[in-house]
Amino acid sequence: MRSRSTLLYDQCRTCRCLPLSPYRARRPRSFAHRHGRTSVGERFNSSDMPPSTVSSRHFYQNETLLDYAARSAKPVSLRQLAFFGLKLTNEKIIQSANFVRQELPTRMAHRIHDMQSLPYSVVRNNHISSVYELYYHSFNTIRRFPVIKTLEDNGLFCDVLRELLTHHTAVIPHLVMGVIECSDLIDSKRMDRFMESMLRSRISRRVLTEQHIALTDAFLKDPTFQPSEQVGQVFFQCSAADVVRQCDALARSLTRSSYEDIPIPELVFEGDVSTKFAYVASHLRYIVGEILRNTFEASLERYQAIRILPAPVLVTISDAPQHVIFRFSDQAGGIPPEIIPYLWSFVKGPRSMIRHHNFEQVPALEAIVEELEASVGHATGQKKPISSLASLTTRSPTLRLGMGLPMSKIYAEFWGGKVAVKSIDGFGCDVFLHISKLGNESRFVQENNI
């Protein structure tokens, strides 16, 4: 019987996986060099991380990685996140810490395996190899952390988690630029599936990590406190209309910072405006914020072209039995026909080179970012837990990254919802957001979201 390492060797020869650490391989000239630019990958200071443990053995003989990749991650539902933290104790905090300690390396091992399955020419890309190195370092860091037995152990563990969250803020620009640069080396649909899998898994890991840190902070602040409105990142009473108003204020403020004298359409609400539901508020704010920013940008472009005041954006809210449904209807001219086939793609499209260029200018993903706040436009000056994609939400309106809608779709689908767009060329768009109610359609996170 052949050994597990021999089987992996045969698999690697079949799929042409990278035989050595990407950082040790000799690379061709980068996409940025060929176009006379300096990329984020080259500006990223890898010395910020501890020295890599990756060696030439880890593809063929790494039994540890194989063992973790063979495990099944445990799906976690929004209901579980919400109700686990209703009454915290020392034991529950330690239980949560060890669950995260076991789950994170398992989920990272699956994604490392996905990267190993890419063709050699793709994994050699500077940006993809940077992500690989970062994931492998994080995988080893977490799996080697000893079993957590005390609150002091958990404090050290949370410090490690915060550090890794900071390092991983560089992942998204590297991934986006990497898949664009490799768009001619691999089928774009396969690359989009790879990108979606990486981003879904990123959400799942950050949810577990940020939720545990939030529960720890709340317990240390007041061990007797019993939350009634919020448990960690989960809000029991997200007001649909209030979230839209908060995102409107932020999007409006950011847009006016770049377009001072151009009118921005007002919002008009209809339907079940008093609807409330349980959800991860930061996810909802990101989705709604991106929808409104796209609407405002399109309205500004239309105003500059025809000089007609923009019509109001109609926001319809429906409290259905299993979903809360938002519809955003604008009259901003619709989506250009040449964009429609690539609306949900991270890889292809007529604006992919613009997207690549703009992502080179997003150093905020490597720095401390702020949560999207209800008091929009006012910085607190305090450090906050890093929230998934918060820095993308607060970027300059003139810097278009071209991933707001596809990323919003992934966020919505993660909890069993969806995003859909209906465009009438020359008139406007209807964007539909379906949010699954707690415990109904999306009781558990789907297995492909890990």
Residues 222 and 309 in one domain: no
Structural domain tally of the chain?
2
Q: Does residue 322 share a domain with residue 291?
A: yes
Q: Residue 28: name the closest of 123, 125, 118 by CA.
A: 125
Evaluate whether residue 142 is within a structural domain.
yes
Domain membership of residue 78 (yes or no) is: no
167 and 92 part of one domain: yes
286 shares its domain with 169? no
Whether 57 and 166 map to the same domain: the answer is yes
- Beta carbons within 8 Å of 307's beta carbon, 6+ residues apart: none
Let me know whether 350 and 408 are in one domain: yes
pTM over 0.85: no
Residue 77: inside a domain, yes or no? Answer: no
Domain check: are 130 and 160 in the same one?
Answer: yes
Claim to verify: residue 349 and residue 373 sit in the same structural domain: yes
One domain for residues 249 and 345: yes
| CATH number, residue 13 | 1.20.140.20
The verdict on 171 and 279 lying in the same domain is: no
Same domain flag for 363 and 444: yes
For the chain, the three-class secondary structure string (H helix, E strand, C coil) is CCCHHHHHHHHHHHHCCCCCCCCCCCCCCCHHHHCCCCCHHHHCCHHHCCCCCCCCCCCCCCHHHHHHHHCCCCCCCHHHHHHHCCCCCHHHHHHHHHHHHHHHHHHHHHHHHHHHCCCHHHHCCHHHHHHHHHHHHHHHHHHCCCCCCCHHHHHHHHHHHHHHHHHHHHHHHHHHHHHHHCCCCCCHHHHHHHHHHHHHHHHHHHHHHHHHHHHHHHHHHCCCCCCCCEECCEEEEEEHHHHHHHHHHHHHHHHHHHCCCCCCCCEEEEECCCCEEEEEHHHHHHHHHHHHHHHHHHHHHHHHHHCCCCCCEEEEEEECCCEEEEEEECCCCCCCCCCHHHCCCCCCCCCHHHHHHHHCCCHHHHCCCCCCCCCCCCCCCCCCCCCCCHHHHCCCCCCCCCCHHHHHHHHHHHCCCEEEEEEECCCEEEEEEEEECCCCCCCCCCHHHC
Which of 197, 226, 255 represents a domain boundary (last residue)? 226
Reading the chain (450 residues) residue by residue, the pLDDT tens digits are: 444 433 333 444 334 344 334 333 333 344 444 444 444 334 334 444 444 444 444 454 578 888 999 999 988 888 888 888 888 999 999 999 999 999 999 999 999 999 998 998 898 899 999 999 999 999 999 999 999 999 999 999 999 999 999 888 888 888 988 988 888 888 889 999 999 999 999 999 999 999 999 999 999 998 887 777 888 888 988 999 999 999 999 888 888 877 778 899 999 999 999 999 999 988 999 899 989 989 998 999 899 888 888 999 999 999 998 899 999 999 999 999 998 998 998 887 777 776 666 666 554 343 222 333 433 343 334 344 444 445 444 555 566 667 788 999 999 999 999 999 999 999 999 999 999 987 544 444 444 455
Both 182 and 252 in one domain: the answer is no
Q: Which residue has the tokens 């995988």?
A: 139
Confirm whether 82 is domain-assigned.
Answer: no
Indicate which CATH number applies to the domain containing 275: 3.30.565.10
Q: Which of 226, 248, 282 is the last residue of a domain?
A: 226
| 194 within a domain of the structure (yes/no) | yes
**41 neighbors 31 (Cβ within 8 angstroms):** no
Q: Which domain-ending residue is among 226, 257, 276? A: 226
Supply the pLDDT for residue 327: 98
Query: 109, 139 in Cβ contact below 8 A?
Result: yes
**Angstrom distance (rounded) from CA 247 to CA 294:** 12
Are 326 and 432 contacting, i.e. CB atoms less than 8 angstroms apart?
yes
289 occurs within a structural domain? yes
Classify residue 267: in a domain, yes or no: yes
Structural domain that includes position 268 = 231-449
| Residue 122 forms part of a structural domain | yes
